[in-house]
Amino acid sequence: MPFQYWTVTPLLMLFLNSGRAFAMSDARIVQGPNKNLGEALTFLREYDTGASNICLKVSSAQWNYATNMTDVNKRKMIEQQMLKAKFEKISWKKAALFDWPKISDPLLKRQLKLLITRGRASLPDEKFNEIHHLISEMKDMYLHVRICAFNNYDTNYCDLVLDPDVHRIMEHSRNSDELLHIWREWHDKTGPPMKNKFMRYIQIANQASRMTGFVDAGEQMRYIYEERDFEHEIATTWRAIEPLYKELFTYVRRRLYIKYGPDVVRPDGPIPAHILGNIWAQEWSKISDIVIPYSTEKQLDVTDELLRQGFTPLRMFQMAEEFYTSLGLKPLSPEFWRNSLFEKPKNRKVQCTASAWDFCNKIDYRLKQCTEVTMNDLITIHHEMAHIQYYLQYSEQPYLYRDGANPGFHEGLANAMVLSVYNPVHLHRVGLFNNNTDTYELNMNFLMIMALRKVAYAPFALLVDQWRYNVFKNGVRTMNFNWWELRLLYQGIVPPIARNEGHLDAVAKRHIPADLPYMKYYVALLLEFQIFDALCGAMGHTAQLHTCDIYRSREAGRILTDIMQAGESKHWKDVLRMLRTKTNGLSAEPLLKYFQPLLSWLKVQNRDEAFIGWNAKVEDTALFQPLFSKISGCARNVFNTFPCVVIAIHLVVNYL
């Protein structure tokens, strides 16, 4: 009988402990003497006008640069961003004069609280500027990393960039030596040069959080979820997803073993990080050629059909607008159609990442996308347009409430819309997919692609900030070790070559040097399926969840409107209640329901596997031991007992 060494239990205990430790009252957070309701009202009115104006100016300057990348436009953008930082700092100081926990009006109190508990304006000017400078330096360094090609390593062809070169090679190369080379280049050239700056950043970020009243910057990051059992909730949902993840993992590992052989993958071991089609091994859809269940069966791709029917980018945007108006949501304004950027201009340099913009003046909303007539771009348009719908729906809220109910809502909701659009039934309904949508093979292929994107992503989305919380809390001494500890524990991923504390592999992911939160992607993943399931339930869909299409459902539209109009004015659990489902917190059930048919299929595929999940051995953990500890030196690691526990489990098991 397979015995799984890597259980989630030690970690769950960690979560539970920290959950209690972090339960905090507002009393610890900065507050002043002023209880005057009228003055609070006046301050917030002025703040609202000022912040909206500045947001308009910054967004305009950012738009000008993003759609016309000249030095002049960059300078203007930076000027506006500095004015905004200054405004935020001044506003924070004014807000901190109020005794906000005692303000009787709940809406005013909440706005003050949001204002005071976010950002780093509590720092003295010098440090405030220093951390901004550090972050922008790290972002710049990340942007300018160039790595050497595999072919002529000796002759120094060293001009490859992350996007598109690294991505292209990781996605398409099936030569494990080349993949390893690119993986190593990228990780060696991002982390080590930034390590000193990153350590200083950790220090100042913690100082800022302490000055606001938090224990450390990790607590401040979690506080935004306004939920004392937040980490417990996260751990519980992961425990529910883990069995599905392990079945997927086991099946994928078998296919990779067949492809690359025992020199690259052990048949019961963790998977090395370089062969999953993604430089971070965070989603695996690019190796679908290796793992697709029925390779002879058609896959869901309507690009040819779009071309055959003569679609243009503009018509794709109109189609997406019609999807939202069919739900009873708002049509887009003339300004939107006039000002958006739909295609890559030929006469100037632009940032092509698709994005949705709110200019904070209740008039101007725009999309920016270098659209090509492909299915992927059609899906992306629907996603981005969901953000615009959200902006439109909460536009009447005060500035501080014009955001998702928690940091996961915007992405979760937009992706819930995509579940209804990238869907054989919907594409059939809009005349783009005329083949039989009903074959078992087509559905398994489809669910496999979705699982490679969503289920494979879950543990990564969860662990990035878990790592950051640990670094903020425990310090930087074994941070690379801790990164791989978590990746092995949650994802079953190991580095393809030895790493040590001279490396800093988490920095290979842009969100780390760029100071961008990550837990929101895990929350969004759960919300995506929760929202989708609730909308499908409301319109009476009873067949398999992945075949549900909310197109033309006014019931679904009404629920969406309620959620979006609330913005961030309420606790997100009160907003979730508008879904009218039984659960009122985060839940993995809808995700599991969506993938249920695939889980059954995977179990059949894996029936002869000796090991569901991964059997981590000393040779795996030896790949990333900190230099000072070796394996037996775990006791020296006293400030952070968690890695010791895990290593101890290994030693016991492997030497039995």
CA distance 581 to 56: 38
Q: Which is nearer to ligand NAG, 149 or 526 (CB)?
A: 149
Among 4, 70, 175, 544, which residue interacts with ligand NAG (rule: CB under 6 A)?
70
| Angle, CA 129 vertex, CA 128 and CA 134 arms, to 5° | 105
Task: Name the minimum Å distance from CB 201 to ligand NAG.
Answer: 32
Are 244 and 595 in contact, with CB atoms under 8 Å apart? yes
Q: Which is nearer to ligand NAG, 98 or 572 (CB)?
A: 572
For residue 462, give the nearest of 262, 238, 280 by alpha carbon: 238
Task: Name the minimum Å distance from CB 279 to ligand NAG.
Answer: 15
Dihedral Cα 356, 359, 362, 367, nearest 10 deg: -30
| Angle, CA 240 vertex, CA 236 and CA 246 arms, to 5° | 130
* Phi-psi domain of 540 (left: phi exceeds 0; alpha: psi -120 through 50; beta: other): left
Task: Name the minimum Å distance from CB 381 to Zn ion.
Answer: 12
Contact stretch for Zn ion (CB under 5 A) within 166-174, 212-220, 411-419, 518-526: 411-419
For residues 599-628, which are near ligand NAG according to CB under 6 A? none
- 144: annotated active-site residue: no
Return all residues near 53 (Cβ < 8 A) that are at least 6 apart: none
Among Zn ion, ligand NAG, none, residue 68 binds (CB under 5-8 Å by kind): ligand NAG
Task: Name the minimum Å distance from CB 150 to ligand NAG.
Answer: 7
78 part of the interface to ligand NAG, by CB under 6 A = no
CA distance 233 to 237: 6
Task: Name the minimum Å distance from CB 537 to ligand NAG.
Answer: 16
149 part of the interface to ligand NAG, by CB under 6 A = yes
Q: Which is nearer to Zn ion, 367 or 414 (CB)?
A: 414
Total residues in contact with ligand NAG, by rule CB under 6 A: 16
Segment 5-8 long-range contacts (CB within 8 Å, at least 24 positions apart):
5/615, 5/616, 5/649, 5/650, 5/653, 6/488, 6/489, 6/492, 6/613, 6/614, 6/616, 8/235, 8/238, 8/239, 8/242, 8/489
- 384: annotated active-site residue: yes
Are 620 and 488 in contact, with CB atoms under 8 Å apart? yes
CA distance 383 to 90: 36
Residue 355: beta bridge partners?
A: 368
232 is in an annotated binding site: no
Among ligand NAG, Zn ion, none, residue 305 binds (CB under 5-8 Å by kind): ligand NAG
72 part of the interface to ligand NAG, by CB under 6 A = yes
299 part of the interface to ligand NAG, by CB under 6 A = no
73 part of the interface to ligand NAG, by CB under 6 A = yes
CA distance 121 to 91: 9
Strands 493-494 and 355-358: unpaired
Residue with tokens 């360094």: 141
Among 86, 348, 362, 554, which residue interacts with ligand NAG (rule: CB under 6 A)?
348
Task: Name the minimum Å distance from CB 157 to ligand NAG.
Answer: 5
Give the distance from CA 29 to its chain's centroid: 28
245 is in an annotated binding site: no
Task: Name the minimum Å distance from CB 161 to ligand NAG.
Answer: 11
CA distance 308 to 455: 33
Q: Which is nearer to ligand NAG, 353 or 583 (CB)?
A: 583
CA distance 72 to 70: 5
Contact stretch for Zn ion (CB under 5 A) within 137-145, 413-421, 532-540, 610-618: 413-421
571 is in an annotated binding site: no
Q: Which is nearer to Zn ion, 207 or 371 (CB)?
A: 371
Task: Name the minimum Å distance from CB 179 to ligand NAG.
Answer: 13
Q: Is 170 exposed, middle or buried (0-12, 13-18, 19+ CB in 10 A)?
A: buried
309 part of the interface to ligand NAG, by CB under 6 A = no
Q: Which is nearer to ligand NAG, 73 or 637 (CB)?
A: 73
Among Zn ion, ligand NAG, none, residue 584 binds (CB under 5-8 Å by kind): ligand NAG
For residue 568, give the nearest of 117, 146, 125 by alpha carbon: 117
Contact stretch for ligand NAG (CB under 6 A) within 9-17, 64-72, 77-85, 394-402: 64-72
Given the residues 384, 485, 501, 528, select the one marked as catalytic. Answer: 384
Q: Kindly provide the residue ranges of all beta strands, DSSP E only, lying in 361-475, ordered along the sequence.
A: 365-368
Q: Which two tokens stand for residue 229?
A: 């059992």
At 208 the three-state DSSP class reads helix
Task: Name the minimum Å distance from CB 226 to ligand NAG.
Answer: 14
For 495, 602, 625, 631, 645, the CA distances from 640, given in Å and listed in that order, are 22, 37, 14, 15, 10
The site string for ligand NAG over 562-601 (x = CB under 6 A, - otherwise) reads: --------------------xxx-----------------
151 part of the interface to ligand NAG, by CB under 6 A = yes
For residues 432-451, which are near ligand NAG according to CB under 6 A? 433-435
157 part of the interface to ligand NAG, by CB under 6 A = yes
CA distance 68 to 349: 6
132 is in an annotated binding site: no
Residue with tokens 């991964």: 614
Contact stretch for ligand NAG (CB under 6 A) within 52-60, 70-78, 381-389, 394-402: 70-78
Q: Which is nearer to Zn ion, 199 or 418 (CB)?
A: 418
In the complex, the residues that contact Zn ion under the rule CB under 5 A are: 414
In the complex, the residues that contact ligand NAG under the rule CB under 6 A are: 68, 70, 72-73, 149, 151-152, 157, 305, 348, 433-435, 582-584
List binding-site positions: 225, 383, 387, 411
List binding-site positions for Zn(2+): 383, 387, 411
Active site residues: 384, 511
